[in-house]
Amino acid sequence: MSHLTDKARAPYRGEAGGLPGPDSLEAIVAENPTRRTLLRNGLFGLSVIPAMALAACDDDGNPIVTVPPTPTPSPTPTPTPPPSFAISFAAVAANQDDRVTVPDGYTADVLLKAGDSVEAGTPYSGSFPASPAVAEKWAGGGHDGMEYFALPEVDANTRGLLAMNYEYPDFNILMAGDYDPAAASADQKAIALSAVGIGVVEIAKGGDGKWTVQAGSTYNRRYTGNSSYRAGGPAAGLLSGSIKGMLNNCSSGRTPWNTYLTCEETMDNYLDPAQPETNYGWVVEIDPLRELAVPTKRTAMGRFNHENVAFMASTDRRVAFYMGDDTTPGCIYKFVPDRAYSDTNRAANTDLLDYGTLYVARFNGDGTGEWRALVVGENGLTAGALDPGNTSQSTTPPTPTTVDFNNQADVLIKCQQAARVAGGTVMDRPEWLTVAPDNSAIFCTLTNNSGRRVADPANPRIRNLHGHILKFSEEGDSPLATKFSWEIFLSAGDPALAAGGSNLVGDIEGDTFSSPDGLRIDPQGRMWVQTDHSVPGSSGVDGTTIDGTFGHNAMFYVDQQNKQSKRFLVGPLGCEITGLAYTPDLTTFFVNIQHPTGDWPVAGEAPRSSTIVVRRTDSQPVGN
């Protein structure tokens, strides 16, 4: 989580109904006339009927077959060379500039700032919102995870939908002073809640290569901390019938049937503490096309401080969803639906995430691992179970506490305790997971845990200030496996910090970093790492700041074979870098800049979390 949400949550630790069905063709066209041509071409443009099939009959009823003339041979076209996905960009240097730095030959354009319009209305222009209704239509704040979705019959390399998370309000554009939920007026509370949740925007690439939000698109939609959500799955009956809001939407994921999975990285509503806590801490499934279910909290996937979701699918359409609990410390989970998904009938997947088995990962010292089912009655999950607590943060073990797991809803709502009872390994704040395209490996960023006092093989550093990345492989590369093998892929740090002890050095080859957070292996198998070291933060060496060692938070390419790291992008003052989505041809990368504090993105205006578009000026794939 960002340091802002961590601070806001500290005191609290211890419109969905009847969304329209598929948008009608006429509604889409009315909002966006250019779509008519695209849709028409998509529906009819490819229906070329072979001339041989167009047979009439002669007077005797015998078919007359018209043989087309022999075509004149045309010259053999020069084949277009396939695009290169080689990594050949010139790495950028660590810096503390108040701007986005990208390699030579690249551009970075701002696409959507906090306060820009998502739904039609008056955007932020230097004044606080006049009412909650105004802010409710804006892009929220703390831009984080996002996914890019194709539209039916549209070239996704030039137009599509971007769904993105808003983790935390950019309060500096919303209201004066600090937000205090205990003292906030109803309007202030509603304004704060308007700035979390998600936004969906239709975006398109213009002739100049620049991407813009398509104002007025019927797909543009906000889902906020004030909207209503339903719950599905085994614990649904214990949640409110109509849940007010989702929040702390940190990172995200998608399903193979192209719905968006947005993750609540909080187990209480710290912006509106009057709400029941059990309503929060879930994965929420939202269909950006608005064809399937209304936004639904999927309780079968467990309640914890969800970071992201990454799926692995087999050729027979079985799927596992991998998830991290960004807690100090937290466990790694996977959820396996009972059924294969359908790739021919999207609607058949509507409730797929309500039925399945949730597992927690246990990392053994010999490099093996196992998935332990979080099912009532199994692995010690019974009434009167003993939770060992967080055993990593003190050399004096905590006193175990008694927890009752009387049914599966208990297991899911008290998921962190269930995971520890079942023997799950408590990890150094699991942030993103990502799955290699060939299913051969899964990677997880363990961002840091400066409070760790008891090491274990998978979390080998006490006072883990800079974090590490874990790699594991499922038995048989199967999403259904219950066993895996694992290794530490990379330990973050910098040799310049050796004076503070070997724990701070790490083993990164090339450009070093601290606190890996965002993590994605793109469809060409290339790994991208985004960082979130706290600013200000400790490097571990007195007199040396963390920015002084690593520069501003940044994004890196990391070679999975030789672990060579190349710095690709550096963010402006005070931000974290997070969120990564791309077009299918990988010529356009979408990246989020969260909570900047300087004079960015617009000079002379309040700093705002923003989505940027990164691309090569010669339109070749990113990475070249």
Binding site for ligand FEO (CB under 6 A): 1-2, 144, 167, 250, 265, 307, 326, 431
Q: Which does 285 bind (CB under 5 to 8 A by kind): Ca ion, ligand FEO, none?
A: none
Distance of CA 532 to the CA centre of its chain: 15
Segment contacting Ca ion (CB under 5 A): 235-243, 370-378, 425-433, 614-622?
Answer: 425-433
Q: Decide if residue 428 touches Ca ion (CB under 5 A).
A: no
Within 8 A by CB and 6+ apart from 34, the residues are none
Q: Which of 315, 304, 314, 303 is nearest to 336 (CA)?
A: 314
Binding partner of residue 565 among Ca ion, ligand FEO, none, CB under 5 to 8 Å per kind?
A: none
Does residue 44 sit in helix, strand or coil?
helix
Q: What is the dihedral of CA 475, 477, 480, 485, to 10 degrees?
A: 30
Nearer to ligand FEO, 168 or 257 (CB): 168
Measured in residues, the chain has a length of 624
The candidate with the shortest Cα–Cα distance to 514, out of 523, 496, 299, 522, is: 496
Give the one entry of ligand FEO, Ca ion, none that residue 263 binds, where binding means its C-beta sits below a cut-off of 5 to 8 angstroms depending on kind. none
Task: State CA 169 to chain mean position distance.
Answer: 18
Q: Name the residue among 524, 521, 505 with its Cα closest to residue 513.
A: 505
Task: Report the nearest approach of Ca ion to the CB of residue 361 (Å).
Answer: 19
Q: Which is nearer to Ca ion, 28 or 591 (CB)?
A: 591
Q: Using the rule CB under 5 A, is 325 a contact of Ca ion? A: no
Which listed range, 119-127, 428-436, 497-505, 533-541, lies at the site for Ca ion (CB under 5 A)? Answer: 428-436
Asked whether the bond before 601 is cis by omega within 30 degrees of 0, the reply is: yes
Q: Give residue number: closest CB to Ca ion.
A: 532
Do the Cβ atoms of 621 and 587 come closer than 8 Å?
A: yes
| Helix, coil or strand: residue 456 | strand
**Between 466 and 616, CB nearer to Ca ion:** 466
Residues in contact with 470: Cβ distance below 8 Å, sequence separation at least 6, in sequence order: 363, 427, 443, 444, 446, 458, 486, 487, 488, 489
**Residues that contact Ca ion, how many (by CB under 5 A):** 3
Binding mask 524-543 for Ca ion (x = CB under 5 A): --------x-----------
What x-and-dash track marks residues 499-518 binding Ca ion by CB under 5 A?
Answer: ------------------x-
For every residue of 349-397, DSSP letters joined together read: GTTGGGSEEEEEEEE-TTSEEEEEE--TTSTT-STTEEE---TTS-SSP
Nearby residues of 485 by Cβ (< 8 Å), 6 or more positions away: 367, 368, 369, 472, 473, 475
Q: What minimum distance in Å lies between the beta carbon of 447 and ligand FEO? A: 7
Q: Which is nearer to Ca ion, 285 or 532 (CB)?
A: 532
Select the residue whose beta carbon is closest to ligand FEO and give its number. 250
Looking at the Cβ atoms of 147 and 431, the one nearer to Ca ion is 431
CB of 186 to ligand FEO, least distance (A): 27
Residue 265 touches which of Ca ion, ligand FEO, none (Cβ within 5-8 Å per kind): ligand FEO
Q: Quick one: 144 or 511, whose CB is closer to Ca ion?
A: 144
Q: How far is the CB of 484 from ligand FEO (least distance, A)?
A: 23
Residue 430 CB, shortest distance to ligand FEO, in Å, is: 9
- Read off the tokens for 133: 């209704």
Please identify, using beta-carbon distances, which residue of 2 and 514 lies nearer to ligand FEO.
Answer: 2
C-beta of 142: minimal distance to ligand FEO in Å?
Answer: 8
> Which of ligand FEO, Ca ion, none has residue 167 at its interface (CB below 5 to 8 Å by kind)?
ligand FEO
- Parallel, antiparallel or unpaired: strands 228-232 and 296-298: parallel
Listed in sequence order, the DSSP H helices in 449-554 are 546-550
Binding partner of 268, given Ca ion, ligand FEO, none, CB within 5-8 angstroms per partner class: none
* Closer residue to Ca ion, CB minimum distance, 1 or 352: 1
From Ca ion, ligand FEO, none, interface partner of 417 (C-beta below 5 to 8 A by class): none
> Smallest distance, Å, CB 604 to ligand FEO?
29
Closest contact distance (angstroms) between CB of 265 and ligand FEO is 5
Closest separation in Å from C-beta 170 to ligand FEO: 15
> Which is closer to Ca ion, CB of 300 or CB of 558?
558
The whole-angstrom separation of Cα 194 and Cα 171 is 11
- Minimum distance of Ca ion from residue 432's CB (angstroms): 7
Are 577 and 554 in contact, with CB atoms under 8 Å apart?
yes
Helices (H), 79-208: 132-135, 186-194
Answer for the pair 465, 452: CB distance below 8 angstroms, yes or no: no
For 142-161, the DSSP string reads SEEEEEEEPPTTS-TTTEEE
> CB under 5 to 8 A by kind: which of Ca ion, ligand FEO, none does 264 bind?
none
Closest by Cα among 206, 204, 210 to 159: 204
Q: How far apart are CB 555 and Ca ion at their closest, in Å?
A: 13
Query: Site residues (CB under 5 A) for Ca ion?
Result: 431, 517, 532
